[in-house]
Structure 1
Amino acid sequence: MSNSSNVTKQFSAFYLENRLYGIEVGRVQEVVRSMLMTPIPLAPDYVCGLINLRGQVATAIGLRQLFGFHSEIPQDLINIVCKVDGMLISFQVDEIGDVIEVSESEFEPTPQTISEDIRKFMQGVYKVSNSLMSAIDVDNIIKFLNNKLK
């Protein structure tokens, strides 16, 4: 039996409304500053538009809108680009953090106090120094988008 407390994961950390979130590093293709977007008519508000990344098209998803945050959206959003099933998805976030290495022993299920609008997109939380980092479940977001955007 292996000791799971020694197993670590790396997350690309980012912030939304000063809260710390992370996406597993292996899922992230690149991080880019805000880019020119082509709007998609009649799309839900969390589908911000299409971005041209050196000839590849990525769909930009606003995590603030997806999570139901209603505060004003910052001007210079950061795009965390992930490749999922051959498609590029860009998650728009307020600011990027460092790569954070966490131990599985620091993992906890998503607290019930977090709104269901956000909880359904999370794997759980990790204790990171003096705060919590919410681990984003990219696959659940993609499933949600595939069901909503049919």
Structure 2
Amino acid sequence: MIDSQSYLTFRLHELTYGIETHLVKEIFQLPELTIIPETPGDIIGVLYLRDRTIPVMHLDRRLGQSIQECRLSDRVIVIQWKAIEIGIIVNEVLDVINIESNFLEPEPDYGREHHINTAFINKIATILDTSIILLNTEALIRQPDEVAGVIAEADTLENQALEPEGKAPILSNFFDLYCPQTSEIEQDTFRQRTKELQLPLEIGETDGSIPLAVFSLGKEYLGCDLAVVKEFIDIDKVTPIPCCPKHIVGNINLRGEIIPLVDIRSVIHFAEAEKPATQAIIVQINDISAGIVVDEIFDVVHINQEQLSPTPTGVAAEIKKYFHGMAIYEKNLLSALDLAKIFAEGNLVVG
């Protein structure tokens, strides 16, 4: 059996990178950061994320490249390695993919050719003519005492600013330093993101949170436990299967493995799709490996169990059992699915 590892892939400029999925805590749009004096060169600021202080690294600087201006479309990926949480700024978050060991190759020259410090590169994966730089997380994250120092300094400055008669220190401006070309409207958007990320959880604490892959079916936002997700894919060629139930879309060939594609709309009583799906989430539930067709894949977020509100009483009991509950995702209502129950009790014949 070939070993494999799940990676979250993302883009920075023209290159594609990957980091182990299990290290990812949250992903969100870049907010305005608080600038802390005398931090390590690659830490460009901190973010007060609910009850945590998160140092934020610009990946350009960490990889030894010239830093480019931050953009409104940039994302922050919060990763945790051992006891350290840190955010990294990237241009675009792509997919979660499962990379088998036979697609990996050492990094003898790739980093040098692209002016990347090779100490931060673990391996190179080549899939469909695309090279993916798999980052060495241990090398990427600084020593714990340096990160702790940044957090302590940030917390001190925040406390000084909150003191009624205290004089807050004058800090450098995030926009002047890292995105001088932004308009007033764009700056307001950055600031609004910061305020939203600082808000405490409405219910419960952050401990015990579960990562959800967020996607849509029609106009509905849904989430499924990232633990069962093997990868996200774009659907290329589907082979129809004669005389199959309506929920079986067909089979796909995923790097030599035949995977059935399943439409779960009928189980949760959603309207039929208006057009063929172009994306799918490959899941592994017990001994079932299948692809769930979706309209769009958005994000990976962490939701605490206590944040989930009960499914509305108006929802029929035979459908309600397939949902863990409801939560808020970017001002939209998100339904958290129980995929294990959907496959076990939803009459989804697969294979």
Structure-2-length-normalised TM-score: 0.38
Report the AA paired with residue 96 of structure 1: I
Q: How does 1:84-95 map to 2 (within 5 A)?
A: 84-95=285-296
Q: Which has the higher contact order (CA 8 A, sep 6+)?
A: 1
Equivalent residue, structure 1, for 2:132: none
Equivalent residue, structure 1, for 2:260: 59
Equivalent residue, structure 1, for 2:314: 113
Task: Give the gaps of 5 or more residues in structure 1.
Answer: none
Which whole-Å CA distance do the structure 1 matches of 2:315 and 2:295 have between them? 19
Which whole-Å CA distance do the structure 1 matches of 2:338 and 2:234 have between them? 22
Equivalent residue, structure 1, for 2:328: 127
The 10-residue stretch of structure 1 (99-108 or 70-79) with the greater mean CA deviation from structure 2: 70-79
Q: How many Å apart are 1:45 and its aligned residue?
A: 1.1
Q: Percent identity?
A: 25
Equivalent residue, structure 1, for 2:220: 19
Q: How many Å apart are 1:67 and its aligned residue?
A: 3.3
Report the AA paired with residue 329 of structure 2: V
Which whole-Å CA distance do the structure 2 matches of 1:34 and 1:65 have between them? 20
What is the SS of the residue equivalent to 1:105? helix
Kindly report the root-mean-square deviation, in angstroms, between the aligned alpha carbons of the 2 structures.
2.3
The 10-residue stretch of structure 1 (120-129 or 25-34) with the greater mean CA deviation from structure 2: 120-129
Q: Once superposed, which parts of structure 1, at least 4 consecutive aligned residues long, lie more than 6 Å away?
A: none
Between structures 1 and 2, the one with greater strand share? 1
Q: Which has the larger radius of gyration?
A: 2
Which whole-Å CA distance do the structure 1 matches of 2:236 and 2:288 have between them? 18
Residues 113 and 75 (structure 1), Cα distance of their counterparts in 2 relative to 1, 3 Å cut = same
What is the SS of the residue equivalent to 2:265? helix
Which whole-Å CA distance do the structure 1 matches of 2:266 and 2:236 have between them? 18
What is the SS of the residue equivalent to 2:270? coil
Q: How does 1:27-66 map to 2 (within 5 A)?
A: 27-66=228-267
Q: How does 1:71-82 map to 2 (within 5 A)?
A: 71-82=272-283
Report the AA paired with residue 222 of structure 2: Y
Task: Give the gaps of 5 or more residues in structure 2.
Answer: 1-203
Residues 131 and 43 (structure 1), Cα distance of their counterparts in 2 relative to 1, 3 Å cut = same
Quick check: 1:58–1:87 contact (8 Å CA) kept in 2? no
